[in-house]
Amino acid sequence: MKAFADLVRLMDRLRDPGGCPWDREQTLDTLKTYLLEETYEVLDALDHGDAADHCEELGDLLLQVIFQSKLRTEMKEFTIEDVIRGIHEKLVRRHPHVFADAVATTADEVLDQWERIKAKEKVGTSRPSILDHVPARLPALLQALRLTEKAARVGFDWTAEADLLAKVEEEWEELRSEMGAGNAQGIAEELGDLLFVLANLARRHGLDPEQALRRANGKFIRRFRYIESRLAESDRRPEDSSLAEMDALWNEAKRELGRPG
């Protein structure tokens, strides 16, 4: 594709002697933050539902892939062509139900097959655990989801949702006990256990707990801004108000703003 090749050449020019001083100073370490930021900006664009914004942010994210590949090329380790070839070969290899004679008729069967093929590919490597392939830097709730997905695929899972709900209640009571004892370390540990079990509960219902929490955060932001807006009508700020008044405005926000999803 000409557009992609043009972008690769543009990056070459930026990194060449006489190119951009900023781009020439970047390293794999300095680019880590930008990769993370661009990823979250893509997620924000998806949440807002703006196609033009999504297109732009995907471009920014693609640039990070090309940028890091350029640095590896300079190190004589791999090129952007190697990246593309590698993912192409992997997709063909892990979709034998499309490109060979394997059979997989449901999404779950496809995922099970994917994990089996992946495990065979990793035989003899230094990463024997199925959990090793869950990135350590994932947001904690998303990491919990991925860890339990991996474990569930080899049969380590709750047999009944009632048992899982009982575990939620158990962890909640243990948290309450630590709170009653004023044990800060115990509170932190039990809170983590409760969040982990709730991530399991989300998984059982096909939900992403990270996205669920992001939606809850967005709902809080909308409602609190409503409170700020209503108080501003009388030239006041939240710190000039009372908890009772803000609580009343919060309930008003719930009625006025509804549940946008």
DSSP annotation string for 132-168: GGS-TTS-HHHHHHHHHHHHHHTT-S-S-HHHHHHHH
Per DSSP, the residues of 35-82 read HHHHHHHHHHHHHHT-HHHHHHHHHHHHHHHHHHHHHHHHTTS--HHH
What's at 211, amino acid-wise?
Answer: Q
CB neighbour burial string for 184-223, b if at least 16 within 10 angstroms, e if fewer: eeebeebeebbbbbbbbbbbeeeeebbbebbeeeebeeeb
Rounded CA separation 198/165 (Å) = 9
CA nearest to 147, candidates 213, 197, 74: 197
Mean pLDDT by groups of 10 residues along the chain of 261 residues = 94 96 96 91 88 96 97 97 96 95 92 85 69 85 92 89 95 96 95 96 92 90 95 94 95 83 44
Q: How far is CA 124 from CA 86, 127, 151, 155, 193, in A?
A: 20, 8, 21, 23, 34
Is pTM beyond 0.75? Reply is no
pLDDT for position 261: 44
101 φ, ψ (degrees, to nearest 5): -105, 15
- At 153 the pLDDT is 84
The DSSP secondary-structure symbol of 126 reads: S
pLDDT of amino acid 145:
93
Give the span between the Cα atoms of 129 and 119, in whole angstroms. Answer: 9
Count of alpha carbons within 13 Å of 16, Cβ hemisphere only? 7
Q: What is the pLDDT of residue 127?
A: 59
The whole-number pLDDT of residue 112 equals: 87
pLDDT of residue 83: 97
* Residue 179 CB contacts under 8 Å (≥ 6 apart), including other chains: 187
